């Protein structure tokens, strides 16, 4: 069942009603992999994206907002509201990923057609989160693919916020002490460890986490990636352009010690999005309480798995360990049609 019904009104105009659609609120720090995840969600027939909130991370908040609008324009979905959010972490300095994503966060493509900032909503992202959750109590699935600053601020403003959303899907953290920014810190959590700590210790809604190790252990073959980008569609052409910078970076890293992910295509943020869209995507998980280390010299920002239940926490999360990569391939293919 596609989740959509189409009928004609008395004027003969086609109207579309979403039936049983999953209501998503997506929080991003829009780089190339966020763009992939957004396009995946926009193409899914059983999904209604209620709004996209923006956060610092892969690039500056200004670039992140602009990048989201660019993705929506490419997909002809500029009717979806976009909200500007946190421009910096709760503590410390901004960390960006320009080496991989480009200075602008979207590959530094010179001829991309970016919409003007006037297309942004005037409402702050955190206030939009609280409003949307209140307007659709118990129905909104929140997908976070960047630093968790906006979510932490929303919780601090309204402690009942987690009870108002249906579920939370996070791309971030790690489960084997392997980092991709620091020795033990995954990028999204290491960008704002305090925010990650607040969210993992304050949100008590059903929560699934797609960690860094999970994504690269379920990487896709480069043969799929090359075929995926080879299609002659507007969306595929767009993806080829914005991916060229990160592709070049990955090629330079190939063979370097510790760069396991260069052995295959790892669309990090798409794993969390796929899990939110398709409940059968994740095939195995660890169910335990988690937290985040804030003080360690080498471990600041590292996610802690409380497998021995020493933290005595009631709320436990689902940490993805295995998934159906064929379903991910199908979702990615649909995204570029």
Q: Which residues are catalytic?
A: 29
- C-alpha span between 22 and 289 (Å, rounded): 26
Instruction: Please say whether the beta carbons of 39 and 67 come within 8 A.
Output: no
What is the separation, in whole angstroms, between the first and last Cα of the chain? 20
Instruction: Please say whether the beta carbons of 39 and 75 come within 8 A.
Output: yes
Instruction: Please say whether the beta carbons of 303 and 290 come within 8 A.
Output: yes
- C-alpha span between 47 and 4 (Å, rounded): 10
Dihedral angle of Cα 274, 280, 286, 289, to the nearest 10 degrees:
70
| CA nearest neighbour of 188 among 176, 175, 179, 198 | 179
| CA nearest neighbour of 237 among 59, 95, 111 | 111
| CA 237, 238, 239, 245 torsion-angle sign | positive
- C-alpha span between 320 and 93 (Å, rounded): 30
| CA nearest neighbour of 335 among 71, 106, 26 | 71
């Amino acid at each position: 069942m596609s989740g959509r019904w189409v009928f004609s009104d008395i004027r003969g105009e086609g109207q579309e009603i979403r039936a049983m659609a999953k209501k998503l609120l997506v929080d991003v720090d829009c780089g190339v992999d966020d763009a992939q995840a957004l396009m995946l969600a926009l193409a899914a027939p059983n999904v209604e994206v209620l709004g996209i909130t923006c956060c610092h991370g892969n690039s500056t908040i200004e670039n992140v907002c602009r990048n989201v609008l660019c993705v929506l324009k490419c997909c002809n979905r500029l009717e979806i509201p976009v909200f500007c959010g946190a421009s910096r972490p709760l503590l410390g300095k901004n960390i960006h990923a320009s080496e991989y994503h480009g200075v602008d966060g979207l590959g530094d493509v010179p001829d991309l057609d970016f919409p003007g900032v006037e297309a942004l909503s005037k409402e702050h992202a955190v206030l939009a989160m609280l409003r949307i959750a209140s307007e659709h109590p118990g129905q909104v699935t929140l997908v976070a693919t960047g630093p968790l600053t906006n979510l932490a601020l929303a919780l601090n403003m309204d402690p009942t916020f987690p009870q108002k959303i249906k579920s939370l899907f996070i791309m971030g953290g790690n489960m084997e002490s392997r980092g991709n920014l620091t020795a033990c810190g995954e990028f999204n959590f290491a960008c704002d460890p305090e925010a990650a700590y607040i969210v993992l210790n304050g949100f008590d809604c059903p929560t699934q986490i797609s960690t860094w190790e999970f994504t690269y252990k379920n990487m896709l073959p480069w043969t799929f990636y090359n075929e995926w980008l080879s299609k002659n569609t507007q969306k595929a052409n767009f993806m080829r352009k914005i991916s060229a910078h990160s592709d070049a970076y990955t090629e330079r890293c190939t063979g370097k010690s510790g760069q396991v992910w260069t052995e295959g295509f790892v669309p990090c943020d798409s794993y969390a999005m796929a899990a939110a869209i398709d409940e059968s995507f994740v095939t195995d998980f660890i169910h335990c309480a988690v937290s985040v280390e804030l003080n360690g010299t080498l471990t600041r920002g590292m996610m802690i798995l409380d497998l021995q239940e020493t933290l005595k926490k009631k709320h436990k999360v689902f940490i993805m360990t295995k998934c159906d990569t064929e379903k991910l391939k199908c979702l990615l293919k649909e995204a570029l049609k």
